Amino acid sequence: MSKLYSNKASTDGLQARIDDVIDRTLADKRLVGAVVKVAAQGELVYSRAAGFADREQNRAMQENALFRLASVSKPIVSTAAVVLVSQGRMQLDDRVDRWLPEFRPRLPNGQFAALTIRHLLTHTAGLTYRFFQEENGSYEQAGVSDGMDQTGITLVENVRRIASVPLLYTPGTQWKYSIATDVLGAVIESVADVPLSEAVRSLVTQPLGMSDTGFMAVDQERLTTVYANDAPEPRRMHDPHRMEFMEGTAGFRLAPGRALDDTAYPSGGAGMVGSAGDFLRLLETLRKGGAPLLPESLVRQMTTNQIGDLPMAYWPGRGFGLGFTLLKDPAAADTPESPGTWRMGGTYGHSWFVDPAEQLSVVAFTNTALEGMSGQFTADLCKAVYDGRECF
């Protein structure tokens, strides 16, 4: 059993270290606001809201603030899919076209590809994201939405457009982070025979009491304003907003107003809104074995590397389970996390990880894109959590 935060002295040290990281980051004007929560051995040992939910309106961040989740949507929707598997309503190795007969993308050589639910969950389906491609790439030419812009199309139409573009590779032979979870959302709709929002609510959020989480903000007054990381301080996002990602790529197209638009298609990979407390509840449910959502055997599959030794661009030392990354080699990943740690984040400024060996779950939601996802704040926060090992 972990002893990382098993006594008051170690917990007090944790609180002081995380407070220092948050305070320094806010003082340096690298973040506008954040909510950080840490659970150790099933107990909430740190919870703080800091900075502003809206800087220009002088609205302070609150612990129940709502955030546009971006890719933090993926573990929620992936869990919904695995719940359907647990109920015997579909299988991991079902072909996608069993549930979406029109989704039959071709390989570069023109042959039809055999995609499975497992390929979608593990991001080995041959798909990509528009923001990874160059300007005017194949997804842009086909009008594919990444799920964070507002295009006025339906989920069915976006999936049709995705299927019209040749796959990058034969499913199962490579790993590439992609729009696969949006396709998975369409599969969930087909299997459950209800809209994706209703399916996710009945399969995941309602059983866990995640009343703040859905495909639209449940309370506009609690929804945070979003900012783009910039110097000398983050700048308020426009709507729509374009944000650079990596040199040579098309970058992000963001529509913050999407979180309040009930006509926006439900993007399983990027379209949800929720609170840090809600998401911590899901992580802790999975860490403890899955009840009441899932049997432990399926949680083990979700949290075990499913892609073998396929290389993962941008995430050295990690593998991938059913919906999120898994740490294989802490040295290669340059992290103090234990092997087996699950981790991901979200474009709008979030990071999270679960370290099962230390019985530890950490959620850091911010309203500052990129810095809160993969900037120095994320690294400093992780270090602050694990510096507690010095106490023993």
DSSP 202: I
Based on DSSP, count helices (H) and strands (E) in the chain, helices before strands: 14, 15
Separation CA 285–CA 303 (nearest Å): 13
User: Is 7 within 8 Å of 389 (Cβ atoms)?
Assistant: no
Catalytic residue (choose from 71, 78, 197, 267): 71
**Tokens linked to 75:** 């573990």
Q: Among this protein's residues, is 2 annotated catalytic? A: no
* H helix runs in 131-290, sequence order: 138-142, 155-163, 180-192, 196-200, 206-208, 276-287
* H helix runs in the chain, sequence order: 8-27, 73-86, 96-99, 117-122, 138-142, 155-163, 180-192, 196-200, 206-208, 276-287, 296-302, 330-333, 371-374, 376-386
Residue with tokens 């704040």: 377
Separation CA 79–CA 85 (nearest Å): 10
Q: What is the dihedral of CA 281, 291, 209, 74, to 10 degrees?
A: 60
Residue in 304, 265, 291 with CA at minimum distance from that of residue 185: 265
Catalytic positions, written as ranges? 71
